[in-house]
Structure 1
Amino acid sequence: MDYEVVHTEDVPITDLSDEDEIPPDLRIRALDEVFDTDSLNIKLWYFEPGEEIRYHAHSEQEELFYVLEGQFSLKLGRSGEEEYVDAGPGTFWIAKPEIGHGHRNVGDEEGVILALGAPAVEDPGLDPHRLDDGDDE
């Protein structure tokens, strides 16, 4: 088939707190697994109030984010040049490779973010504060 159509509720939710090797302890819908994408990671991330993805960077992957629900505080930028930005529904932001990014649900309700990442590689989070000194582990 050249196309697929899937409704959100038909994509199973994975609780990452059950996965020891995968922080953070959030819930996701892995759309890339349903669509079996080759070049793109696609996730819906669910955040309870106060939950976050800590400030990190990727060596290869570029990520685009979109807030569907909730209120978030974003930490964006290179180490030493970070800025904090408020983001609500309808907000997009992008993180290029080696650019630090993180976000926290600062609202009183569940927040949902759509995240698209390419290339679709295993690209674990790196400490942005250590990228400039050549030590990214």
Structure 2
Amino acid sequence: MKYAYVHEDDVERVDLSESDETPPDHEMLPIDDALGLAEMRAKVWRIDPGEEIGYHAHSEQEELFYVAEGTFSLKLGRSGDTEVVEAGPGTWWAAGPMVGHGHRNVGDETGVVFAFGAPAIEDEGLNPHDIDDPRR
């Protein structure tokens, strides 16, 4: 790919409220698909108050997040060694492979989070409590 561009208004929104695998009241914009990205994933998540992306990990993917709107409670770190922090607009966070992470909208309005992941593989979420800590 030489280059690509798209405005988010032109990206088809995916309503995940009908999915059994994703909690209700999430809307996702698959920016990666719209741009034809092959090496990374890029999503915009719109998360209603009280809803969350549950605590999970990925076997290979490293993820980077940015809060554009809203207030979130983040749960970050390996099972048994987590940190919970509040994040508002302008906050970035990242999680490497096999490291647990999740975020809940604790504000009163819909929150917006940008999410980037690489490599761009189907790396389904793992339960961090089931992962052996390589530091042991």
Range of TM-score over shorter length: over 0.9
Q: Specify the alignment match of 1:13 in structure 2.
A: 13
Paired residue secondary structure (1:17): helix
Q: Structure 2: how far apart are the matches of 1:124 and 1:58?
A: 6
Paired residue secondary structure (1:94): strand
Q: Which amino acid aligns with 1:95?
A: A
Q: Specify the alignment match of 1:61 in structure 2.
A: 61
Q: Structure 1: how far apart are the matches of 2:3 and 2:122?
A: 25
Q: Structure 1: how far apart are the matches of 2:29 and 2:82?
A: 29
Q: Structure 1: how far apart are the matches of 2:98 and 2:23?
A: 19
Q: Which amino acid aligns with 1:67?
A: V
Once the two structures are superposed, what CA deviation does each residue of 1:63-90 show, in whole Å capped at 9, x if it has no partner?
A: 0000000000000000000110110000
Q: Specify the alignment match of 1:113 in structure 2.
A: 113
Q: Specify the alignment match of 1:35 in structure 2.
A: 35
TM-score with structure 1 setting the length: 0.92
Query: How many aligned positions are there?
Result: 133
Structure 2 unpaired stretches of 5+: none
Deviation, 1:5, is: 1.9
Once the two structures are superposed, what CA deviation does each residue of 1:9-41 show, in whole Å capped at 9, x if it has no partner?
A: 111110012334x42331100001101111101
Q: Which amino acid aligns with 2:27?
A: R
Q: After TM superposition, where is structure 1 displaced by more than 4 Å over at least 4 residues in a row?
A: none
Q: CA RMSD in A?
A: 1.6
Q: Structure 1: how far apart are the matches of 2:60 and 2:81?
A: 20
Of the structure 1 ranges 76-85 and 24-33, higher mean CA displacement relative to structure 2 is found in: 24-33
Q: Specify the alignment match of 1:23 in structure 2.
A: 22
Paired residue secondary structure (1:2): coil
Residue correspondence of structure 1 range 77-92 to structure 2 within 5 A: 77-92=77-92
TM-score with structure 2 setting the length: 0.92
Q: Specify the alignment match of 1:46 in structure 2.
A: 46
Q: Structure 2: how far apart are the matches of 1:39 and 1:24?
A: 27
Paired residue secondary structure (2:126): coil
Q: Structure 1: how far apart are the matches of 2:63 and 2:6?
A: 22
Q: Which amino acid aligns with 2:23?
A: P
Q: Structure 2: how far apart are the matches of 1:66 and 1:31?
A: 14
Deviation, 1:118, is: 0.3
